[in-house]
C-alpha cells in the first residue's frame, strides 16, 4: 500500500493513472491480505489446525476461527484419513 501511494504521487501522469487504478489495486490487496483469510490450514489426520500470522489482528483471528469451522464441517479430516490408509 505504501509503495502504491508513493508511486501514485510521483508525478502528474502517475497521479492520474493511480487514481484510475486505485479501486482495482485495493481489490487485489484485499484478496492477498492475510487478515481476510485469518490463516492457512495445516491438514493432517488428527484434526484441523489453522496457522495464523504472528501479528494477526482481531479480524484475522476471527476469520481463522471461521475458516477452521468451515474446514471442520466439510469432513476433510475424515477424507484424508481414508486416503492415507490406501
Tell me, what's the pLDDT at 81? 83
**Whole-number pLDDT of residue 65:** 93
* pLDDT score of 54: 86
pLDDT in tens, 36-71: 778 878 877 688 889 888 888 999 999 999 989 998
The answer to whether the predicted template modeling score (pTM) of the entire model surpasses 0.75 is no
Q: How far is CA 74 from CA 44, 62, 70, in A?
A: 14, 19, 7
- What is the reported pLDDT for 84? 79
Q: Indicate if the pLDDT at residue 86 is higher than 70.
A: no
Distances (CA, A) of 63 to 14, 19, 25, 73, 76: 35, 30, 22, 15, 19
Give the alpha-carbon dihedral of 5, 6, 9, 11, to 10 degrees.
-140
Amino acid at each position: 500500500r505504501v509503495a502504491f501511494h508513493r508511486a501514485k504521487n510521483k508525478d502528474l501522469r502517475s497521479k492520474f493513472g493511480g487514481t484510475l487504478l486505485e479501486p482495482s489495486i485495493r481489490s487485489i490487496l484485499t484478496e492477498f491480505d492475510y487478515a481476510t483469510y485469518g490463516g492457512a490450514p495445516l491438514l493432517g489426520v488428527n484434526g484441523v489446525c489453522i496457522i495464523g500470522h504472528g501479528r494477526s489482528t482481531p479480524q484475522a483471528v476471527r476469520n481463522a476461527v471461521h475458516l477452521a469451522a468451515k474446514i471442520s464441517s466439510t469432513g476433510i479430516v475424515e477424507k484424508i484419513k481414508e486416503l492415507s490408509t490406501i
